[in-house]
Amino acid sequence: MKMRVVSVLLVQMGLLALFAGVSAEQLAAWSAESLSGGFSVHPRWNVSVAGPGVDASNSFAQLDGRLTNTTYYSHPHFMTYYLQNTGQMQEDRYIQVFLAPRNGAELALGSISFNVYSSRNGAKKAAVRFSADQFSANLVEVNLLPSTHNCVRIGLEDFPEMNSISQPVEFRLYLWDSQGAQVGVLKDAPDRTPAIEICGTVNNTESLQTNDVVRAAKAVLERNFGSFADRVLLKWKEGIGPNSSTAFQFESTNGVLTVWGETSLALCSGVSWYLKHYANSQVCRITGVNNLPDSLPDASFEEHVSPYHYVSMYNYCTFGYSMPWWDWSRWEQEIDWMALNGVNHPLAMVGAEAVWIHTLEQFGYTHDEAKEYVCGPAHLPWFLMGNLEEVGGPLPESWINQRIELQKKIIERMHELGMSPVLQGYVGLVPTTFSERYPDAPITHQGQWFGMERPSVLDPRSELFKEIAAVWYEESEKLFGSVKYYAGDLFHEGGIRKGADLKKYAEAIQGAMLAANPDSVWELQGWGNNPSGYLLEGCDPSHTLIVSLGEDYFRNWEKRKGFGEFPWVWTYILNYGGNVGLHGRLDWIAEEPPLVLENENVGKFLKGIGQTSEGTLCNPVVNDLLSDMVWRKTAPDMANWLDGYICRRYGQILPAAQKAWKLLYHSSYGSYGQQGNREGNRRTPESIFCARPRLSPPLRGASLPGRLRRYYDVRMTAQAARLLYECSDRYSHSDAYRYDLVDVTRQALCDFALTLFGDMSRAIDEKNDVEFEKNSGLFLELLSDQDRLLKTRDEFLLGRWIDDARSWGKDSREQDFFEYNARMLVTTWYPFKGILNDYSHREWSGLLDGFYRKRWELFQSWGAAKIRGENPPDPDYVALELGWLKGRETYPSVASGDEVQEVGRILDRWETLLMDVPQPFYRARSSNDFCGAWYYRDKTGERSLYCADFQPDGMLVVHAEELGSVQKFKWKYEEEDGSAVVYDNEGQEVERCYLGGHNTLLFSVASKGPATQKAEDQRW
């Protein structure tokens, strides 16, 4: 009976170990014929045993075996093939046989069996191991049914006597039944795709590398997908693309996904791409694996080669704002996520403080003196960038030792998966006290950075610099091994360049780096005006890489024409300071990288893409799109892409979810700005809850560089929250859905809080105690509801941040030290009054009620006194904040409450108020901002109701579908308020138009200012 091998259920397949009558002398002869190179180099069919017509010279390159005929056999009931040179098998080594007919190849078998022989004494030994690592010594013959798996492994490590000598393996295919009737088929495809492929490993460099690649990738799949990984066959293959880690191939047939790649990272990327775009599944950085399928859909063969050589990850600041407290378990999760999303070039700055300490000890500093120079755990990134020293330190000895061991694991795993980690290089920074020990050294003090003393700079042309650099790289290699890429910047965000010959400095810095490692590459941050053109004149382009930060907003590639002929990486800064808020320019991410690639002058030097966010665990939709763009040369259709995102995130598409994400796409995730201008704001819209409240000067942001202003109609976020909530019956099983529901609702609440602050401020100015008391009460109630909402998710808990920090301390004193640093970073930033307060503010449960509320209560007491006619002093926020840093009150570190129920309660309480707010508006720069056709649609955004065509000649033509008419008016640009004034035929002003968020147009009657428009008046 003919049976097809088509499925993935490993445990249903039986294998019969048959022992043919072969003499010990013949086995010894086969072994003598084997070549010392090993199985992966010279696997061969043994022609003397396999039968006539088999090409014994076929060496089956790259571990792929090919059977070219179906009519040759040496036994009436089965076909036998022998593999020579199985080599010296080590622990966990196996030969893998993959039966996966592709591209027209045919394979149907009665059964298969393996014999493994020992050539020492001719004794026959057999072992069969399933992919699920089950083992049985007494297997019985079972036909290969349609429900059986098509991948088996022959485990060889169970036979110690085989470890010292090469062994042949007998592989039998049963194409006939016991009566001699043919029941099987074995036929290659017309394009020579084999019907059977044989893979294996032995103890030689090439095969070990190959097997390690597959094994490391398989481990990623098993950690993230569990038993699902058994349905994936990973195969090493070189030469798919110009860069080994950014190319893969895959296909899925009969319930098995096969992925080819040269590195573990490429294999993982292939699996992730297939899951996203064929199986509607997702690996999220925050919520993990979403919507893993029960079965694997078929997918035709595909090849994906990234247009980029580098896929970068992290900003220096990320190591402070996101990951200062991560242990190995959390780092392992992050590295897996990077591998599944194509990241091959991450910064790796953990433990760099140890290199600094070891280096300074060789230049006159005691161990304790060296530790005094180094900053505390959360401020180490800015220490490494040369912005400050000592803040938050000194570090406990236990921290330094633990971080060394953690970094070793990080680097080892990154290398294992095919990543190229970037370590800290030496660029000439020295402690400000260094000149006391070396008074004759050419040292320039660098002044301050936001009120903190910067490290000094040692002239890189000096002999002392060369000595320090040599020690630095030696110590770095001792601790963490050799790497190719080193990062480091001089004069980051300021510093004193007077007298500095930047070209000569660069030559010396790179020269020292190349002296330590002739293959090394100096990685520079493209930030502000760095690196300057003159500095780059001293650099060798073949040993330099520029990672340009925030290209989504600054567009240095256009302003600077790239960086000359230097290779560079386009990166997106999604988040600053770890702030919590919906934000992400989806259109910009989708369209800008392809635009740069196509630029004939700049595109050829664009070598990478990446994300350099200061905070990472937010806005998963942006991470998902950016990881897609790694493999795309053109922008996707965003409507279709968002539908796919909904499906893989929640498991299915519901109309309400589509509408919700359409609203978010055109509000929080829009490329805000004026008509025809996509600049807008580069940062997450900040939460008024997290700001130090004041009336004068006007409060622009919660942090110094941030902005409270919304560039979109905030009612759209509230609508999106309601629509997502309506999906709870179908989506509540999804943790990703629950996270999104809380996050969108959180955004709607903090958006509305901005309106309440405006109402409070007006009440103080107008001395209206009734309105002030009402709106003050609403504000504090809203703040507490926000805290209660965020308590339902671990991701939004202050207690988890603090507990993670305290986990690094070996005793209560160290635990208190780490907690102090953790509290400081997300509030005051440094342990004294300064201008960086709240730069790293977070909308977290615990911070809202435990810290921010106290400031608002002070403000409201101050405001009430002002209304009563008193002249109270300004609230003393600094005393309150610095006192809170020293507190040790505990906050929940584990979520409580049900997300869906809490959102329902909040919408019942606040939805009416959330929808009763005006749209934001702003001045147009010129009449050109109005020119063009504006379409007004119904509330679904699907049907156009009417069109207003502002023509450059001053004519306004309105096409009204419902009226079936065309009306004509005149208009002109009003420079005073940036509006478009509309006149009737009598010359009377009838309306005034303003620009709203995300390319919307607002109308007002006469000159009373922008009117509050309903959501259906949005332009989509």
- Going by pLDDT thresholds of 50, 70 and 90, the confidence category of residue 128 is very low
**Average pLDDT of the chain?**
81
- The encoded tokens of residue 735 equal 């943790």
Nearest 5°: phi and psi at 411?
Answer: -65, -45
What is the arrangement of strands in the sheet containing 429-430, beginning at the earlier edge strand? 429-430, 456-458, 443-444
Structure-model confidence comparison of residues 422 and 98, the more confident one = 422
Given a cut of 60, is residue 835 above it in pLDDT? yes
pLDDT for 675-709, tens place per residue?
334 456 688 999 999 999 999 988 989 999 998 98
Question: What type of residue is 496?
Answer: I
Does residue 114 contact residue 154 with C-beta atoms inside 8 Å? yes
Output the pTM of the full model: 0.78
Query: Which of 512-521, 522-531, 703-712, 995-1004 is predicted least confidently?
Result: 995-1004
Q: Note if the bond before 541 is cis, omega within 30 degrees.
A: no
Given a cut of 50, is residue 266 above it in pLDDT? yes
Give the DSSP letter string of 551-584. Answer: HHHH-HHHHTTEEEES-EEEEE---STT------
Q: What is the pLDDT of residue 45?
A: 30
Given a cut of 70, is residue 798 above it in pLDDT? yes
Given a cut of 70, is residue 548 above it in pLDDT? yes
Q: Which CATH superfamily is domain 311-636 in?
A: Glycosidases (3.20.20.80)
Q: What is the pLDDT of residue 190?
A: 66
Topology of the domain covering 207-305? Chitobiase; domain 2 (3.30.379)
CA dist 457 and 302 (Å) reads 52
Owner of token pair 């990984």: 229
Per-residue CA distances from 858 to 437, 692, 695, 873 (Å): 49, 10, 13, 11
Reduce the DSSP state of residue 631 to 3 states and report it: coil
Question: What type of residue is 714?
Answer: V
CA dist 191 and 803 (Å) reads 60
H helix intervals, 868-997? 877-885, 899-914
Q: What is the pLDDT of residue 119?
A: 36
CATH number of 688-916: 1.20.120.670
H helix intervals, 841-967? 847, 853-867, 877-885, 899-914
Paired residues of 1002 in beta bridges: 994
Does residue 992 contact residue 982 with C-beta atoms inside 8 Å? yes
- Going by pLDDT thresholds of 50, 70 and 90, the confidence category of residue 1012 is very low
Does residue 293 contact residue 286 with C-beta atoms inside 8 Å? no
- Going by pLDDT thresholds of 50, 70 and 90, the confidence category of residue 234 is very high
CA dist 756 and 924 (Å) reads 27
Given a cut of 90, is residue 748 above it in pLDDT? yes
pLDDT for 851-868, tens place per residue?
999 999 999 999 999 999
- Sign, CA torsion 860/866/870/874: positive
Mean pLDDT computed over 96-112? 56
Given a cut of 70, is residue 150 above it in pLDDT? no
Q: CB within 8 A of 190, min separation 6: which ones? A: 103, 104
CA dist 263 and 417 (Å) reads 7
Burial class of 277 by CB neighbour count within 10 A (0 to 12, 13 to 18, 19+): middle
CATH number of 25-203: 2.60.120
- Of 317, 313, 315, 389, the closest CA to residue 353 belongs to 389
Mean pLDDT computed over 439-453? 96
- Going by pLDDT thresholds of 50, 70 and 90, the confidence category of residue 561 is confident
Paired residues of 290 in beta bridges: 282
Query: Which of 42-46, 442-446, 956-960 is predicted least confidently?
Result: 42-46
Paired residues of 108 in beta bridges: 4, 185
- The encoded tokens of residue 479 equal 């601790």
% residues pLDDT > 90 (the chain): 64
Mean pLDDT computed over 51-79? 31
Paired residues of 991 in beta bridges: 982, 1005
Q: DSSP code of 44?
A: -
Q: What is the pLDDT of residue 289?
A: 95
Given a cut of 50, is residue 514 above it in pLDDT? yes
CA dist 318 and 314 (Å) reads 6
CA dist 1012 and 568 (Å) reads 46
Mean pLDDT computed over 591-614? 95
Does residue 549 contact residue 315 with C-beta atoms inside 8 Å? yes
Per-residue CA distances from 538 to 256, 506, 531, 533, 547 (Å): 53, 5, 11, 9, 18
| CA 1018 to the chain's CA centroid | 32
Given a cut of 50, is residue 655 above it in pLDDT? yes
Q: Where are the beta strands (DSSP E) in 488-560?
A: 521-526, 544-548
Mean pLDDT computed over 276-292? 96
pLDDT for 201-216, tens place per residue?
333 333 434 567 888 9
Domain boundary assignment for the chain = 25-203, 207-305, 311-636, 688-916, 934-1003
CA dist 515 and 524 (Å) reads 18
Mean pLDDT computed over 889-907? 98
Give the DSSP letter string of 738-794. Answer: HHHHHHHHHHHHHHHHHHHHHHHHHHHHTT-HHHHHHHHHHHHHHHHHHHHHHTT-G
Q: What is the pLDDT of residue 926?
A: 86
% residues pLDDT > 70 (the chain): 74
